[in-house]
Structure 1
Amino acid sequence: MTESRPKKRSGWLIAIGALGGLIILVIALLPTILSSQWGKERVLGMAAPRIPGEVQVETWSLSWFGAQSIGGFSFQGQNAELRLDTSEVIVDKGLFSFLLDRGDLGTVTVVRPDIQLRIPQPPPEETSPEPAPAPDGQAAEKGAPPVSEGGSPPEKETLALPPISGILIVKEGSLEVITTGNEVEPVVKNINLEIDIASLADKITYSLALVAPDGTGSLSGDGKVMLQGMDTVPGTVRPSGSLQIKSWDISQLLGLASLFTALPSGTGILESSVSFDGSLNDGINLTGSINLQNLKLSGGPLGDDRPFLEQTSVEFATIIGTDNLEISSLTLASPLANGSLKAALASQGPLQFETDLRVDLEKVASQIPHTLNLQEGLQITGGQLALDGQLQSLEGENKFRGEALIEGLAGIREGQKISLDKPFTLGLEGVQGAGGIRLDNFAVRSSFLEGEGQGDLNDMRVSLKADLGAALKEISKFIALQNYMAEGRLGVSLAAQRKDDATVGMEAQVDADSLMVKKDNSVIIPGKPLKLSGVADILLSQDFEFSGVAQGSLAYQAWLGQGSLKARDLVFGSDTSIQSVGEVSTDSRVRLGDLGVMLKSLKALPESFVLAGDTRVRARISGAVGKFLIDDVLVESSKLSVRKGEERLIPESTLTVKGSSAVALGVDGAVISVDKPQFSYDSWIGSGSVQAASFEVATTTVKELAFTGQTNLARLAELSNALELLPAGMNFSGLDSSSLTMDYSPEKIELASLRTEIAEFVFTQEGKTYRDKKLVIEASGAVDMVQKSASFSPVQINSANGVVALERVAVDDWSKPLDTINTTGQARFDLPTILDAVADWFTLPPDVSTAATVDLNWIAEAQKGVDHKYRISADLIDFSLSKKELQAFTNEKVRVEVDGLRNPTSGNMELNQFNIDSSLLDFDAAGYWNNGSEKAADFGFKGNLGMDLARIAALVRTFSEIDLEMAGKSARPFELKGILTPEQRQQWWRHTDFNGSFQAELIRVLGVELSSLEIPVTVNDGLALAELQGRVNEGGLLLKPQLDLRSEPPVLTIPDNSQVLDQMRITRDMANQLLARIHPLFMGASQMSGTVDLNLESFRWPLGKDSLNDLQFSGFMDFNEVRLESSALIDSLLQVLRVEETGIDLSGRQIRFEGKNGRIATNPLRTNLSDTELIISGSLGLDTTIDYLAQAEVTERLVGGDLYKYLQGTTINVPIGGTLSSPDISAQTVQRAVTDLVNQAGQRKLQEAAGDLLKRLF
């Protein structure tokens, strides 16, 4: 036992020693660990929540005894308003030294810091709040020091300075700003700064040097701040130093300043020197000078002016104390003006202010003539503006005196000297104190304005007399007044007389005789009197405390109308806010015609507008603080009309508006809320009423807003079109009755109910009209203005044309409606009714009618984080389609279903099902749409397509003259795919690939019968190809049509030199329906034999609006052992030619044909009859009209033996007209042709007889 204890003790010692060694090792390696990437990320991660921004460090190196180094340091503040980048930060003190003396920071060197500041948007102007009233009810004196509860000023506070020392060095720094347009502008560069903080905060010394961005200007300064140790009192801090600016170009500073204010831009060189020394307790002496050389300004408010000032200087000497400011001297010297200022300002004590300014009007006019709007060609040769002012405050009174003088103003224009007739002088002298304002002297003198006045509110008289004609004449000598003219004298007088200890009577008069103002030839004021008179009893005590108005009235009479304003028992508080109103009422009448003339003269109303009518405006206000009642509101216009040129906007009518409301005012007189406002109106457009429970102004909140009214939509549309508020070609009419109940705030709209009913609604767009006998819309819901979302449930639309019922419509973000909409609804329409309503947009072909009931159902579901679902179904119930007596469909049912998904992020869509189920068409497909890169989208669809060919053939027979018979019902697979750019989506069929086939058990058309056909169809790069091949009538058929969808319009072609028919046996149906379309000989053939070969040398058919006229083709038919035994055309032709044959032999013959311009022309067909040769040539229209000519030699059977010997060898022409169904070969035409030949033969016979006679005579 005793031997084991030393062993145990030694084991513990070893363990403790190992642990201690490990701790020492960790401490020794701590800087290395923290300098690693892991350590850096760990430290930055722990500090990130406490830093108002983002910090990034490329590298750092820490050491117990060596220097600390941080490389690639950057900081970006929140909202990116501040950014700092440095290449390196070095601290020369080791971590161990910091542990020994934390107060000594050593030397911190920041190398090449680059600071970027983002310029904020200019803040909106705000009104300064009024100072809070003092406890005794009197307004707190501005600038007065706070007072403690004991009544004495608080003790002076001290600055708790941290016990630190060290040196901060900044090398080669720069400062840049980011403008509101995200442009980086350099401000300064080469910033070198050194700050030395002595130990225990005794003294701070500093030096600064920086360079302008262009490298020419510089700023430098140095100084020191003497402190009083750790607990320095602010007033004892003694700063001293100097600052110099040399050759600084201010162009960039002006450019940055113009972003916030309407300052002009420009250039100039700034030189400045400032020195300061002292303390706030003893006063800091600040002296210096500012010099601007070669200042050039442009832009902004200067317009076209480009002023240039060679030298401008300001010198100043001031003393700044804790609660006082003394300007010993401030002088301005420049080519335009010279002046001085002396002032003494203190929170307690007298106030003194003295200034004088002399402005050289000649030089000012030469620099900024356009800004002053001088007359064109005017040169100012002399003139001075002198301003002098003094203000002195002592023992509660402010004595003021001011003088203004314009004299010597002269100039030359167009060789004529001009000048002011008399100098303009203005003088003002008086005292403002507890007793109010007392004018010792007020005087104004000029050639066009005179005035004087003196006294206080116990007894005051002020008068002004102005000659407007003289004023305009004097001013227009120098200023361009844009052809204004004025005449008339205006007098203004103001008198005040105390009636008793509490009341002062005031009287004001404005009187003008024959006041006239014109611009060019437009009269603004038409030379008529203007009278304005007012009297009031003002409640004003002997101590000049204003408390209200006992009674008052104001009456006016002018060319626009006349009216009055009356008031009684107006009580104001000590802060001049209205406390109560016994009654204020107004009643005015305005002549709208004269008002319109004046507004047009002022360019406030377009010249083409004409107003007419008389309007009366009446209102009354009463109540006390917090609640005022506005009632008896009336706006009434009689014979009101408004025209725009010859177009009537408002017909001659009456307009009446009535209303009332209760208004709550704040202590400052601002409107807080409006309670129970209600208004009604009656006008030519309609009538109605609006009311609400309350309207809160600060929050713009309306509670229980209700509207009911009726509107004549035709008149509303007429007015809207005249004002060009509607798109061109749009119009509407009907009688609307609407009601609305809702709560409104800027954040949310709660729509309790909406109902609008429109009778005989008509909507017209570009000559096309939609009609509805009765349209009713009902809805309720809410709109969240903050979240930009809306939800309505339900929405019901009933009309004579159909019904739409939306169980719910919700949009979570209306900026992305397709991505956030949720809706469920149904609709039902009567198809003939809808077609009748939109007849101008869509019309069925003539003699075509249809009927059906259309049921629509849809669901769209949008949820965050998952693909959106949509499902649509449409049912056509009891669908029928007919043309005249022919029924294509009767009591059919068609169903269309679409079911798919849409990704809101990518916009990709997946079509799970697209199904069309009907007796005519059976379509079932699925596919996708993916938005790929570079805005191109790829899509693909696969499915099965089946058609009832018998039903399709019946449809073709119903709507065309083609006798088509088909059979077959089997479905075939197809695939549709493509890649589309946004530009290609409008014509997607040009860039889509298709692969599929169609199967037909039987096709019988144009006398050709095909069976068991498989027709492959492909579309590649906008070119569609099909192949129709089979055995027909013991021969072969091969047709390879091509449709070029890339052309506009699409073009149908058949490859050149295509043999379409090979050794096909000719049947009667084939002759009548196919061959007769090329040559009329085959029409009506009853007996046929032989075979035919059909070759197309070319075929081109642009499928446009008038496509038949654009059809062009050519080819030939070869006939093998073909004989036409009988046909309507052959029989008629042989009969009129009196030929005994009953048919025509075409064996070995070839008929060439060419189709263009809507007709098919053939080469002459020659065939031998028993005793003559027959030649047939001409053309056949695609509309089946015939224009042929048959030629044959005259036979003895046709003319008889007596004439034949004279007509032998001649040819007779037989025209063939009519149509294929009714050819026209007239025997009378043949007889006329024979008669002409007989006449010709008679002439030849007479010539022969005369010749024989002459021979016998001679």
Structure 2
Amino acid sequence: MRDEQNKKSKPQKKTAVRLLKWGLAVIIVLIVLVFLLIPVVVSSETGRRVILSKVNKSVGGRTDFADLSMGWTKGIRITDLSFNDDAGWAQVQVAQIVTKPNYGSLILGNLSFGKTTIDQPEINLNLKNKPVAEPESPGEQQSIPMEIVPATLIINVVVNDGNLKVTDSKDRTVEVSQINSSFNIRPPGQQSLLEADMIIADTNSKINASAQVTPGSKTGWSLKGTSGDFSVEIDGLNLATLAPILELAKVDLQAQGVVSANITSAVIDGRLENLTANVKATNLDVTGSALKGDKLHTNNLDAEVKMSQKGQAINIDQLRFRSDWAQAEAAGTVPTTFKSLNDILQPDSNYNLKGNFNCDVAAILSQMPKTIGLKEGMLVNSGRLSGSVSTFTAAGKATISGQASLTDLAGTVDGKKLAISEPVAVAVEITGRKDRINFDKANVTAAFAKINAGGSLEQINYDGQVDLAKLQAELGQFVNIGPYQMAGQLSGKGQVSVKDDKIAAVGSSTVKELRLSSKEGITASEPAADISFNINYDKKSNDLAIGSLNANTSLGQVNLKDAVVPLGKEAAKPVKLLCSAQKINLEKLQPFLVLFASFPKDMQLAGVAESVLSVTSEKDTYRIFTDSTKIANFKLASPNKEPFQQTEVQLMLDAEVNPGQKAINVKNLELLSPQIKIKKGQFNKTDKEGKTTLQGQANLEYDWSGVSSFVSAFLPQGLEMAGQRKDTISFSSEYPVGHTDQLMANLSSKAKIGFEKANYLGLNFSPTEVDIQIRNGLLDIAPFSSSVNNGQVSFAGRADFKQKPTILKTPGPIDVAKNIQINKETAEKLLMYVNPIFANAVNVSGLANFNCQKLSIPLAANAQKDIEVIGTISVSKLQLQASDLLGQILSVVGGGAQGEVITIHPTNFALQNGFLRYDDMQVDVGNNPINFKGVIGLDQSLDMMVTLPYTASGRTVRVGSQTEGNRITLPLKGTITKPKLDTAKLLEQQIQQQLEEQIRKGLEGIFR
């Protein structure tokens, strides 16, 4: 039975094995077919269209090629490849590209394309048609984390008979032809080769470069660990032809001239060895943004270098530089680093060096006045900077000796001759014995300074004196060293120590009789200031550690202790400053604030300040913090104003500043004093996407009786306010970066201003609240009314800060004043400009009304003549005594205004261009009408006519009664404070009127 079952199972097993074999065979056949068909598909017209479709969808232009063929052994060949970008600025034509990629290496992640040959590539770039790239918004940039998989770069590219043509935005064209190059880039540890030859077509200038380098297998593609050799040869290159290429590379440099060069060198483990270079140029002109518009020129330039390095020594066989304005030569053996300076000063050392230089200062300054900072309009016609350096061994010690001097510096400015009175000389002598290096001499001498130094390398002692007035008189003739005139004596002494990578300095300085003056005649002085310091510079961490810095002056004392100041972005430590100030005399500080901080010259400042301020940093942001700044007996006063005085002022500040981004963030600002409190003050300023954004807010508590004197310089003269206030102010503005003049035009703010009482020009205001809003530069003063002198004042206004000049206007007709009781002060300071009868009047009383049809007040300073007011004014129940003008008018016929009730009828007037005009203002003195007509100037001038209540026949005119004969009209001259009625005209008018009357009567008799 079992045998039968075994017989049945054997055929089934054979069938399964047979099926498996056939299945594997089919799969293998399919794989082989796919493998064989891929080149066929890729090389077909269908494959060409598919590839071009994919490529053209991913590039900003159109790509095409005539033929593409692929073979597993022959590689890939593309013929007649072309590309034209959509903007029309880039065109590429390639006759043929042949490459034999290593498919296995590509699958494993290694970029190995085998040998790639590019035949007759032609590239044509027209920068005039290149689209301007839009910068990405910082807010749109996102950091996407990804894992970088290292790949081995293997490239072997040969370019045959290439051509590059570039046309810049000014239609200048350069063509580089006959480009033949070979790049064979191998993995680190293997030798890579580079060869390139080309010709600048217009001038047939030839450029050849070649290199054979082997990067270290451990260090990779970096200079360290790399060995090989390279050479560059340039024959007659016209620099002007490179302008389009420089524009393409976005290099702001313009150069002219013809340059030839031959440079060869070997590199061993990252060090240049056996360097030979020869560079010659003729008619060389170089300019660019770095030279601030200056142009450096030389007819001839010749530089030759031949040097080699061995160990820690550099052998200079020849170092020579010559141009029209400078020559320099050097030869000898020097150490590679400063650390090996000790070796050159050993008695048995083989180091030696001799060199010299000579420079025509006048030639350089005339070509580069802006770069060097020469005064505008100055011509330097002589001056020479020369020097030498040498090393030698004598009497058992090695010596380095060097000297430099600036002589015969002279010139003219505006026809005035200038010259330094004495040469500026520097002399250095360094000697060495065994392990000790001494600075026997390090001196600087000039008419304005003497500095002497000496000592060992570990500790150098120095002392010096500088006459600041002579410094400015000598060098300030030629170079702009500041906007201020200087005088005083500066002296200092101390020690500088050098050990390993650290430099320490300890010393003191004294300034006596310091005096600084501006062109405007502002002067600040300091009789004596003593400064002591202890600082350390660490080269490795690139920071300055300030152990102590103390300044004792007549202004007060400032101390800095245990501070750290990084000297670069790569510094290891952040900023750390803790500054304390004691007994700062604000009265003595005030002249310096006027000179440097635009503090008002006529404003007095007094008090004694003390503060502890800290500055720390995190990345590029600095934090400024103080919670212990106090000013005792603070006083601030403006001329003819009550001073603002506080027994103590406290300041607390927490702010962040980012200079690179020009950002300021005041997190908290608090100012506390008996009469002013600023709490929860916040302020933020940022620059982003070409816009500056400002935002701020604060809670204010203040007493107007104290604040009025503090802000008196910014308020109308004579305005006095009183009352306790608690207000909140907020503001924001956004404007183009750098255009602070547009801050107000884009300002938005909201505040409420008020007082319990106020007095202005005799107007006594009751409690008043005013809502003020600014929306995107549009100021709105909400309508408000206030009880004033038992009457009512109303006002509303609007101003658009986008308009220049900015004008405050009323929205429409307003009854500004209703039944305001007038007094002597309102008469003298307001109504006198309406009618001169109020000049020098006493015991004034009455009710005034003013309806304003139009009001326009420029908000700019000194714009009095641009004020425009059109309206109607009237005064009732007016009584006054001792009015000069009324006395003159009524005395004509022996009358007077004593006890009379005066009425000024509603009168239309216009104030324009600094003059107030009206055609008829009737003033009733009792029952006698007086009429005024003419012009009153804000400069107090008068040009008016006054019609008296009398006729030439001597009759008195009464209000409401008919008048026979003409009333007397007289000119009114003088000023509003001293009006003068021209009574001399009275007799003329009477004679003329009598003559006219007699003629009239005679004619009537004739014709009866």
Is TM (by shorter chain) over 0.5?
Answer: yes
Match of 2:381 in 1: 609
Residue in structure 1 matching 2:513, options 740, 756, 760: 760
Distance in 2 between residues matched to 1:763 and 1:69, nearest whole Å: 93
Taking a change above 3 Å as real, the CA distance of residues 824 and 1043 of structure 1, as seen in their structure-2 partners, is: farther
Shift of residue 843, structure 1, vs aligned partner: 8.3
Match of 2:326 in 1: none
Is the 8 Å Cα contact of residues 1091 and 1122 (structure 1) preserved in structure 2?
A: yes
Is the 8 Å Cα contact of residues 940 and 978 (structure 1) preserved in structure 2?
A: yes
Residue in structure 2 matching 1:1107, options 858, 863, 868: 863
In structure 2, list runs of 5 or more residues that go unmatched.
1-19, 21-26, 40-50, 53-70, 82-89, 105-112, 124-156, 167-173, 183-194, 208-234, 240-280, 284-298, 300-344, 370-377, 957-962
Code of the residue aligned with 2:177 in structure 1: it is T
Residue in structure 2 matching 1:192, options 86, 100, 114: 100
Correspondence 1:877 to 2:621 = no
Match of 2:409 in 1: 642
Code of the residue aligned with 1:267 in structure 2: it is S
Distance in 1 between residues matched to 2:360 and 2:738, nearest whole Å: 51
Taking a change above 3 Å as real, the CA distance of residues 1241 and 1073 of structure 1, as seen in their structure-2 partners, is: closer
Match of 1:172 in 2: 76
Match of 1:662 in 2: 431
Correspondence 1:1153 to 2:909 = yes
Is the 8 Å Cα contact of residues 346 and 398 (structure 2) preserved in structure 1?
A: no
Code of the residue aligned with 1:772 in structure 2: it is E
Pairwise mapping of residues 916-955 of structure 1 onto structure 2 (< 5 A)? 916-927=671-682, 929=684, 934=689, 940-953=695-708
Pairwise mapping of residues 433-452 of structure 1 onto structure 2 (< 5 A)? none
Shift of residue 969, structure 1, vs aligned partner: 0.6
Code of the residue aligned with 2:409 in structure 1: it is V
Match of 1:751 in 2: 504
Taking a change above 3 Å as real, the CA distance of residues 1198 and 1019 of structure 1, as seen in their structure-2 partners, is: same
Match of 2:653 in 1: 898
Correspondence 1:1237 to 2:1003 = no
Shift of residue 994, structure 1, vs aligned partner: 2.0
Is the 8 Å Cα contact of residues 859 and 872 (structure 1) preserved in structure 2?
A: no
Residue in structure 2 matching 1:732, options 486, 491, 500: 486
Pairwise mapping of residues 489-638 of structure 1 onto structure 2 (< 5 A)? 608-610=380-382, 621-623=392-394, 627-629=397-399
Distance in 2 between residues matched to 1:1089 and 1:579, nearest whole Å: 106
In structure 1, list runs of 5 or more residues that go unmatched.
1-27, 29-62, 72-86, 89-110, 113-166, 177-182, 197-206, 218-244, 256-263, 273-289, 310-366, 372-479, 483-521, 523-576, 666-671, 695-702, 1201-1206
Match of 2:449 in 1: 686
Aligned length: 730
Match of 1:779 in 2: 533
Taking a change above 3 Å as real, the CA distance of residues 1021 and 597 of structure 1, as seen in their structure-2 partners, is: closer
Is the 8 Å Cα contact of residues 643 and 709 (structure 2) preserved in structure 1?
A: yes
Distance in 2 between residues matched to 1:848 and 1:1198, nearest whole Å: 60
Correspondence 1:248 to 2:160 = yes
CA offset digits 1:1193-1220 (Å, max 9, x no partner): 64479699xxxxxx98354344445555
Q: Secondary structure at the match of 1:1040?
A: strand
Is the 8 Å Cα contact of residues 1023 and 1045 (structure 1) preserved in structure 2?
A: yes
Match of 1:333 in 2: none
Distance in 2 between residues matched to 1:1111 and 1:816, nearest whole Å: 59
Code of the residue aligned with 2:617 in structure 1: it is A
Shift of residue 191, structure 1, vs aligned partner: 0.4
Distance in 2 between residues matched to 1:818 and 1:1183, nearest whole Å: 67
Distance in 2 between residues matched to 1:997 and 1:715, nearest whole Å: 57
Q: TM-score, normalised by structure 1?
A: 0.48
Q: Secondary structure at the match of 2:453?
A: strand
Q: Secondary structure at the match of 1:1046?
A: coil
Match of 2:550 in 1: 796
Shift of residue 964, structure 1, vs aligned partner: 4.0
Code of the residue aligned with 1:642 in structure 2: it is L
Shift of residue 1151, structure 1, vs aligned partner: 1.6
Q: Secondary structure at the match of 1:212?
A: strand
Is the 8 Å Cα contact of residues 216 and 248 (structure 1) preserved in structure 2?
A: no
Match of 1:974 in 2: 729
Taking a change above 3 Å as real, the CA distance of residues 864 and 1208 of structure 1, as seen in their structure-2 partners, is: closer
Match of 1:1000 in 2: 755
Residue in structure 1 matching 2:118, options 189, 201, 212: 212
Code of the residue aligned with 1:1109 in structure 2: it is K
Pairwise mapping of residues 1080-1229 of structure 1 onto structure 2 (< 5 A)? 1080-1083=836-839, 1091-1119=847-875, 1122-1124=877-879, 1126=881, 1128=883, 1129-1139=885-895, 1142=898, 1149-1167=905-923, 1173-1192=929-948, 1194-1195=950-951, 1209-1217=965-973, 1222-1225=977-980, 1229=982
Match of 1:485 in 2: none
Q: Secondary structure at the match of 1:1041?
A: strand
Match of 1:36 in 2: none
Match of 1:806 in 2: 560
Pairwise mapping of residues 102-113 of structure 1 onto structure 2 (< 5 A)? none
Correspondence 1:267 to 2:39 = no
Shift of residue 818, structure 1, vs aligned partner: 15
Is the 8 Å Cα contact of residues 722 and 758 (structure 2) preserved in structure 1?
A: yes
CA offset digits 1:275-299 (Å, max 9, x no partner): xxxxxxxxxxxxxxx9x9xx99337
Greater RCO (Cα-Cα under 8 Å, separation 6 or more)? 2
Taking a change above 3 Å as real, the CA distance of residues 70 and 732 of structure 1, as seen in their structure-2 partners, is: farther
Distance in 1 between residues matched to 2:34 and 2:485, nearest whole Å: 73
Match of 2:304 in 1: none
Shift of residue 803, structure 1, vs aligned partner: 3.4
Match of 2:776 in 1: 1021
Taking a change above 3 Å as real, the CA distance of residues 1046 and 714 of structure 1, as seen in their structure-2 partners, is: same
Q: TM-score, normalised by structure 2?
A: 0.58
Distance in 1 between residues matched to 2:238 and 2:665, nearest whole Å: 67
Q: Secondary structure at the match of 2:203?
A: coil
Taking a change above 3 Å as real, the CA distance of residues 1063 and 912 of structure 1, as seen in their structure-2 partners, is: same
Distance in 2 between residues matched to 1:604 and 1:848, nearest whole Å: 43
Is the 8 Å Cα contact of residues 120 and 163 (structure 2) preserved in structure 1?
A: no
Is the 8 Å Cα contact of residues 904 and 923 (structure 2) preserved in structure 1?
A: no
Distance in 1 between residues matched to 2:609 and 2:941, nearest whole Å: 43
CA offset digits 1:659-699 (Å, max 9, x no partner): 5432589xxxxxx99643423344322222122423xxxxx
Distance in 2 between residues matched to 1:1252 and 1:989, nearest whole Å: 75
Taking a change above 3 Å as real, the CA distance of residues 1013 and 621 of structure 1, as seen in their structure-2 partners, is: same
Match of 1:462 in 2: none
CA offset digits 1:90-137 (Å, max 9, x no partner): xxxxxxxxxxxxxxxxxxxxx99xxxxxxxxxxxxxxxxxxxxxxxxx
Q: Secondary structure at the match of 2:430?
A: strand
Taking a change above 3 Å as real, the CA distance of residues 1159 and 752 of structure 1, as seen in their structure-2 partners, is: same
Is the 8 Å Cα contact of residues 1065 and 1091 (structure 1) preserved in structure 2?
A: yes
Code of the residue aligned with 2:965 in structure 1: it is G
Distance in 2 between residues matched to 1:946 and 1:1091, nearest whole Å: 37
CA offset digits 1:935-984 (Å, max 9, x no partner): 65666444422231223456688999955443311312333345555356
Residue in structure 2 matching 1:1036, options 792, 817, 831: 792
Taking a change above 3 Å as real, the CA distance of residues 921 and 707 of structure 1, as seen in their structure-2 partners, is: same
Distance in 2 between residues matched to 1:820 and 1:184, nearest whole Å: 51
Distance in 2 between residues matched to 1:1141 and 1:1068, nearest whole Å: 17
Shift of residue 713, structure 1, vs aligned partner: 2.6
Shift of residue 830, structure 1, vs aligned partner: 2.3
Distance in 2 between residues matched to 1:603 and 1:1159, nearest whole Å: 57
Shift of residue 1021, structure 1, vs aligned partner: 1.0
Q: Secondary structure at the match of 1:1136?
A: helix
Query: For the pair shown, which has the larger CA radius of gyration, 1 or 2?
Result: 1
Q: Secondary structure at the match of 1:1209?
A: coil
Q: Secondary structure at the match of 2:986?
A: helix
Distance in 1 between residues matched to 2:772 and 2:616, nearest whole Å: 38
CA offset digits 1:1087-1127 (Å, max 9, x no partner): 777754322222222222312222222211245x5444646
